[in-house]
Chain A
């Protein structure tokens, strides 16, 4: 008995954590989260989700499904009705045919879909080209899948678009895939059809797969979104990841989906069935309603984001934080170069002095240094107040 006690006290649980998990960097957002949480009356422009509540008709459809007793598992791939609805939606939105039996998978949010995509295609040491700044989960997901993220930078002089040259520089014989995430979090950049055509050439020449996270695809303000999958001959090469979180203000419901070649979607489904089993049934019921009848509400929300976008971006430029025009998502990505502060210094001081929370750009990759991610998924009143406070912050420094 004594021996056993000794053994237990000698255990160091932290040393038992897998090496690759220990190697995962902690989220750069955490520190700000803790600081803002302790603060009263802070205005947060640091939230990466809509400020709208899910439209009532969608919530009501979910409540109705619960009353009717839809509480069992669904097919691993997702309810047939939802998959057919997604197929119709993809046909209408992208003009592409996806078979609801073999080419569509419903996931627990796009986050799961990202993880599945990398796990399904990467062997140890395979490289994925990741344009940065980008959403924080891609690199850890690639690491967890045994792959290597090969970062390529994008910059403001080119509106944070990905160029074919940048991809070519990063290609090695181990490169297996390219990650695309446009409209982009954190920059608000989009890729037009012309931009994508150049990318498609490089992708085909180098026989790459593309994992394309298009969760912000409904939120574009200058032109309709184009998916790389829509370009000639690209559909089988592109795994399209999408969901309802941003378009229909449904972040908490955790509904995403995958469109792609049967072999790739099948591989992802295999992992999904052993890990997630199926996406939450009540959320799938809500998703059917959202896709079938949620367009008007979605357009209303997009219109409101667009109004705020103009208000906020012109305000940033007026107070002296140069900001290129973001054409998608709900983020502005102003530059703090010229203030003599790093992104982190600026963000921390702004929070402490003026109680406005933004996310330092370097959290999203080294090219984000010198920028701030400001979400305009916040009420107009708060945006105006935040601009006032930011102006005060700058003028106190003679900037």
Chain B
């Protein structure tokens, strides 16, 4: 199971046939395990890492740090859940340190993101303060160095 997940987390398009060959296992067994992991939610989604900068449709991303009032019974979960429901929000995480919750937000412009935070997030009950950090450039995402140059070539045939 772990080995299949390692391969898929590197390349979501790896087929059961390919994974079976890599692991020296039967294709049917691999396909069944993948299905089971999809059904049980171990595999949540297959996504594509897009470098939007290279397209004509670029987005504005921001990290929003929030201070939140702890609530009886629900702790941070209630407010975190509310934030997570907005489609503009890409991730929500409980963090340690000066702030309590960190969310990443995607929008078409800085103005759009700023207004979204001011109107929808800062006004939520329990949110004490927000601090918005606009992302200016992304160097590495999901383990991929976006600024990396192609690696030098090896000699084509060596002993």
Q: Hey, which bits of chain A sit against chain B, CB under 8 A?
A: 27, 29, 32-33, 36-37, 42, 44, 46-49, 51, 53, 135-137, 185, 307-308, 310-311, 314-315, 357, 359, 363, 380, 384
Contacts and interface: CB of A to CB of B under 8 A. Distances in A.
B25 to A, nearest CB: 9
User: What class of interface size applies to chain B in its complex with A?
Assistant: 10 to 19
A198 B97 CA distance: 63
Given A307-B23, A314-B24, A49 B157 contact: no
Q: Most B CB atoms within 10 A — which of A136, A185, A314? A: A314
Interface in B16-30: 18, 21-24
B97 to A, nearest CB: 27
Contacts of B23: 307, 310
Contact of A311 (B21, B151, B154): B21
A46 B156 contact: yes
A247 B98 CA distance: 43
A313 to B, nearest CB: 9
B155 A47 contact: yes
A48 B158 contact: yes
A311 B18 contact: yes
A76 to B, nearest CB: 28
A87 B36 CA distance: 48
B157 A36 contact: yes
B156 A357 contact: yes
B107 to A, nearest CB: 34
A201 to B, nearest CB: 32
Contacts of A136: 159
Contact of B154 (A32, A49, A135, A363): A49
Contacts of B21: 310-311, 314-315
Contact of B157 (A46, A137, A308): A46
Given A307-B7, A307-B23, A310-B24, A384 B155 contact: no
6 contacts: A47-B158, A48-B158, A307-B7, A311-B18, A357-B157, A363-B159
B159 A27 contact: yes
A47 B154 contact: yes
B157 to A, nearest CB: 4
Interface string B136-159: 000000000000000100111111
Contact of B158 (A49, A307, A380): A49
Nearest to A312: B21
B154 A36 contact: no
B19 to A, nearest CB: 9
**9 pairs of A and B residues whose beta carbons are closest in the complex:** A46-B157, A307-B22, A310-B24, A311-B21, A36-B156, A33-B157, A48-B158, A136-B159, A44-B156
A311 B159 contact: no
Contacts of A307: 7, 22-23
A33 B155 contact: yes
Given A307-B23, A380-B22, A384-B18, A53 B151 contact: yes
A44 B156 CA distance: 6
Contacts of A308: 22
A308 B159 CA distance: 20
B22 A311 contact: yes
B156 A47 contact: yes
Give the residue among B23, B151, B156 with the most A Cβ atoms within 10 A.
B156
A295 to B, nearest CB: 18
Contacts of A37: 156
A29 B159 contact: yes
Contacts of B22: 307-308, 310-311, 380
Contacts of A49: 154, 158
A36 B158 CA distance: 11
A49 B21 CA distance: 23
Contacts of A36: 156-157
B157 A32 contact: yes
B159 to A, nearest CB: 5
A32 B158 CA distance: 9
A135 B154 CA distance: 19
B18 to A, nearest CB: 7
B132 to A, nearest CB: 32
A47 B159 CA distance: 7
